[in-house]
Structure 1
Amino acid sequence: MTSPDTPGLAGLRPRLPSPVQEAADDRFERRGVRLLLKRDDLIHPELIGNKWRKLAPNLAAADGRTVVTFGGAWSNHLRATAAAGRLLGIPTVGVVRGDELAGRPLNPSLARCAADGMRLHFADRASYRRKSEAGVLAGLLRAADAEDAYVVPEGGSNAQAVRGCRELGAELRDRADVVAVACGTGGTLAGLAAGLAPGQRALGVPVLKGGFLAAGTEALQREAFGGRRGDWDMDDRFHFGGYARVPGELDAFAADFEQRHGLPVERLYVAKLLYGLVTLADEGAFPRGTTVAAVITGRPFPDPA
């Protein structure tokens, strides 16, 4: 990855390019499909996976200013931003969805943010939904006492982040026929697809229900590159009811995958991606001889000891 060339970011010493590991798995092998794991979870102990790729260019653009961003009560993005702020000495503010959470004990995820120095501001859900509107955003920033801050959108997906994620595709050029990634906002998929070589295909597995991510991904590519880039599509059958929904079937699948491959499987994103790929292989969606790379974008939280 072409990381922003600033002393602070260089001092974080990311492991790039991230490793690619082959995973021998009979569920793929019996279909003549080869499975690779792109271990973006090993990029950095605290800024893992697509969080590094999205945040690094935004932190460089912030140039030491306070960074304000948005997320739910269990947001991986909020935790990564808070950790980056601590590591780089940059003040951070997290606008959290749900003013009913104010005054309550913090859950482990938000407690980690606070311990890393992030100042938390709880916004009512109606305002939070409209945070992309200029007037509403200005009001949220005033309420959070962060009017002069550098704003990073929810999930970290903006033009800078998409261009950062293009390096993920570049690292996988000619390594796989299909590269698959779990999607929350579409930013990682947008950049990944742009970085792949002709003939390669990117596959997004949305973790939220609603079927709206394709349009959002196209919009991010237009913002970053001026138009649609790369060959990509989505399969939105594997959200298991929506974000943060982890029913017993999915948890059991993830535990089995961990046992098979010694890979800690993050439940909200990675488990849904891997479940989707196993299902697609069983359906015969990948022709024999296909190499599929699964991007491992995160680790379980709390991190295993």
Structure 2
Amino acid sequence: MIIDKKPIKTPLTPIKSRLFDKYQVNVWVKRDDLNHSTVQGNKWHKLKNNLLQAKKQGKDTIITFGGAYSNHIAATAAAAKAEGFQSIGIIRGDELENEPEKWSNTLTTAFNNGMQFKFISRAAYRQKEDASFLSSLQNQYPSAFIIPEGGSNQYAILGFKDLVKDINEQCPEWTQIYCAVGTGGTLAGLIHFSQILQTQDTFLKPYSIKKILGVPVLKQGEYLALQIQNLLQDSENIKVKKTNNMTDINWKLLTQYHDGGYAKQSAKGKNFQHSFEKEFSILLDPVYTSKMVYAFYDQLKTGKIPKGSNIILLHTGGLQGRKTP
């Protein structure tokens, strides 16, 4: 079950390296890939309130959007199955419709969990947020609850309260969180609740500045800044009065680490991923978390991270994406 499942306090695993000693930083991996067997990481947080809303509205089907390598597609199929919903995935690109042998492991995983696919052209897919397109889709499937691409909406953001609370309890003096970014919902959730929830060290440090660094995994990710701002503005209870104990949050997108674009990975990127996994025995996914971790390493080596920093690398799951068709 997803909706009724209590949040799991996932490990905050310290990782040690001579490189980290050289630059005098402390580093942890927040192992949110361990929060659920099939709805891993940020997808569990994003989907639980969406599914609860679908049940409240009496819907029996979940419709959502994604590409061939979308962790959200795989997670939605698994979550819908667990909660007794049918699921339909509107997939970007119609070239795979009649060639299931070329499907990614992510698509195959979703299909095996009962998701029906509707492959559409890239031109048609660009209408996924258009009001008339969504109205037509709702009319076609009146008993369906429609979740946007990546699951990023106000219900998704509200699902990150427990994660931020968990992080604050495990490492009250964190200074930076690095997070991969696809559609911006996870980053918005982290920002929102990091501003609201007090850390445990406020009696020692009445006013501290923390940073959340988002690493877009697709080219030209600058547009996501506005999307994240809009998500924050649309969220419930987003207005927060600052007090002397308020934790100030600076956030920034690091758009230069896409490594060729969405679901692309260079030989350099692959070598980095393999090296990290060998050193720390923590598996990464090539679409999201590997690029995020690489960004952190590059930032560290280029002097962009102050000495004494306490850095958390958020592992958002998606490990089904490691496998090839």
Provide TM-score, normalisation by structure 1. 0.90
Kindly indicate whether residue 120 of structure 2 is the aligned counterpart of residue 128 of structure 1. no
CA shift in 2, pair 1:252/1:86, >3 Å: same
SS class of match (1:212): helix
| Cα deviation, residue 285, structure 1 | 1.2
The aligned counterpart of 2:80 is 85
The aligned counterpart of 1:103 is 98
The aligned counterpart of 2:283 is 264
| Cα deviation, residue 45, structure 1 | 0.7
The aligned counterpart of 1:187 is 185
Q: Distance in 2 between matches of 1:265 and 1:109?
A: 15
Deviations 1:192-219 (A, max 9, x none): 1122255222111111111111111111
Q: Distance in 1 between matches of 2:99 and 2:137?
A: 20
Task: Give the alignment partner of residue 204 of structure 1, picking from 191, 210, 214.
Answer: 214
Q: Is the deviation greater in 249-258 or in 97-106?
A: 97-106
Runs of 4+ in structure 1 deviating by more than 4 angstroms, as ranges, are 225-229
Q: Which amino acid aligns with 1:80?
A: A
Q: Which amino acid aligns with 2:215?
A: V
The aligned counterpart of 1:3 is none
The aligned counterpart of 2:299 is 280
Kindly indicate whether residue 3 of structure 2 is the aligned counterpart of residue 9 of structure 1. yes
Kindly indicate whether residue 14 of structure 2 is the aligned counterpart of residue 19 of structure 1. no
Provide TM-score, normalisation by structure 2. 0.85
| Cα deviation, residue 25, structure 1 | 1.9
Q: Distance in 2 between matches of 1:302 and 1:270?
A: 11
Counterparts of residues 127-276 of structure 1 (less than 5 Å)? 127-141=124-138, 145-173=140-168, 174-196=172-194, 197=198, 199-210=209-220, 211-225=222-236, 226=238, 230-276=249-295
| Cα deviation, residue 244, structure 1 | 0.6
Q: Is the 8 A contact 1:206 1:238 kept in 2?
A: yes
Q: Which amino acid aligns with 2:181?
A: C
Q: Distance in 2 between matches of 1:233 and 1:167?
A: 22
Q: Distance in 2 between matches of 1:179 and 1:285?
A: 14
Q: Distance in 1 between matches of 2:42 and 2:219?
A: 21
| Cα deviation, residue 249, structure 1 | 0.4
| Cα deviation, residue 299, structure 1 | 4.2
Kindly indicate whether residue 48 of structure 2 is the aligned counterpart of residue 48 of structure 1. no
What stretches of structure 1 of length at least 5 have no aligned partner? 1-6
RMSD: 2.0
Q: Distance in 2 between matches of 1:168 and 1:264?
A: 20
Q: Is the deviation greater in 165-174 or in 47-56?
A: 165-174
CA shift in 2, pair 1:131/1:78, >3 Å: same
Q: Distance in 2 between matches of 1:49 and 1:74?
A: 16
Q: Distance in 2 between matches of 1:99 and 1:148?
A: 25
Q: Which amino acid aligns with 2:223?
A: F
Q: Distance in 2 between matches of 1:138 and 1:99?
A: 22
Q: Is the 8 A contact 2:49 2:156 kept in 1?
A: yes
SS class of match (1:171): helix
Q: Distance in 2 between matches of 1:160 and 1:214?
A: 19
Kindly indicate whether residue 25 of structure 2 is the aligned counterpart of residue 33 of structure 1. yes
| Cα deviation, residue 100, structure 1 | 2.6
Q: Distance in 1 between matches of 2:173 and 2:110?
A: 36
CA shift in 2, pair 1:166/1:230, >3 Å: farther
Deviations 1:162-220 (A, max 9, x none): 11124322222224111110000111011111222552221111111111111111111
Q: Distance in 2 between matches of 1:42 and 1:8?
A: 14
CA shift in 2, pair 1:159/1:298, >3 Å: same
What stretches of structure 2 of length at least 5 have no aligned partner? 199-207, 241-247
Q: Distance in 2 between matches of 1:187 and 1:92?
A: 21
How many residue pairs get aligned? The number is 294
| Cα deviation, residue 141, structure 1 | 4.8
Q: Distance in 1 between matches of 2:276 and 2:128?
A: 38
CA shift in 2, pair 1:193/1:8, >3 Å: closer
CA shift in 2, pair 1:294/1:234, >3 Å: same
| Cα deviation, residue 27, structure 1 | 2.1
SS class of match (1:192): helix
